[in-house]
Amino acid sequence: MRAFIFPGQGSQAVGMGAALAAASPAAREVFQEVDDALGEKLSRLMAEGPEDQLQLTANAQPAIMANAIAVLRVLEKEGGIRLAEKADFVAGHSLGEYTALCAAGALDLATTARLLRLRGQAMQAAVPVGQGAMAALLGADLAKAQAIADAAAQGEICTVANDNDPSQVVISGARAAIERAVEIAKDHGAKRALLLPVSAPFHCPLMQPAADAMAEALAAVAIQAPLVPVYANVTAAPVSDPDTIRALLVEQVTGMVRWRESVLAMFDAGVTDFVELGGKVLGGMVKRIAPDAVATSVVSMDDIEALVKAL
């Protein structure tokens, strides 16, 4: 069995998608459709920068999605690969869940781009810059990370945001609490703790204003049943019902990304082949979570051609 998986924030880089667009009309169509949906040339920002603008959450989220969907469309239109025939499940990390839903036909591309632009803006606006923070705890599993967060909270928000893999958990919350967590992490058994260069504390209760904004936006869009089930971040379980998908996307804004559990659940369901489209971060996580699984990252035209031969 096979799952197509889609990356989250952090995989953006100036130049993303440029070579693919130069080589493929199918990729250019995706970037043009996203540009039209947003009413601006996001594709130019992706290709040329400046980097500080691309790093803004409101730009990075639709850009990462567009890049991954461009890879998928080249696979489909030029490689003759049909997702429904080659994938048993899809999943994505945080914003990647929207990409997965778009890939599986639950959301159309223009709607996905607009939702992610709004999601990025709402998450940025939810907490004033400087008041929130996130930190990666390396060499810490979920139990250690939870203990560190609890000890550092001292009445402030400090929670696990991303359970990425057995050796990397990300925490999120009020800046002072996160800084305390970084200071005490080694005492609680983590190898290292480092503040992340993010502009807001994602996936924690401080994001409630963004969750409210997404609830309103998602209520107004059509969601179809996906071609294959989507593993949801907040449940680490497959979902196909459109109303459930809508509710879980709202919950995801403040909830923990249960990526480690999602990969384990897919592996336990029989998935042995994980194909990451549009990034090179999740493949490494998959190998740390399920060492017996095969993980392939597909970004370039060469990657796509190799995958077509393998499938």
Active-site positions read 94, 203
**β pairing state of 158-165 and 168-174:** antiparallel
SS3 for 82-124, per residue?
CHHHHCCEEEECCCHHHHHHHHCCCCCHHHHHHHHHHHHHHHH
Taking the C-alpha atoms of residue 194 and residue 135, their distance in angstroms, rounded to an integer, is 5
Is residue 150 within 8 Å of 137, Cβ to Cβ? no
- Shortest CA distance to 259 belongs to which of 193, 190, 169, 194? 169
Tell how far CA 207 is from the center of its chain: 16
- Residue 198 — left, alpha, or beta (φ > 0 → left; ψ -120 to 50 → alpha)? beta
Taking the C-alpha atoms of residue 179 and residue 254, their distance in angstroms, rounded to an integer, is 20
In the sheet with 168-174, reading across from the earlier edge strand, the strands are 158-165, 168-174, 132-138, 192-195
The H or E element spanning position 278 is none
Tell how far CA 79 is from the center of its chain: 25
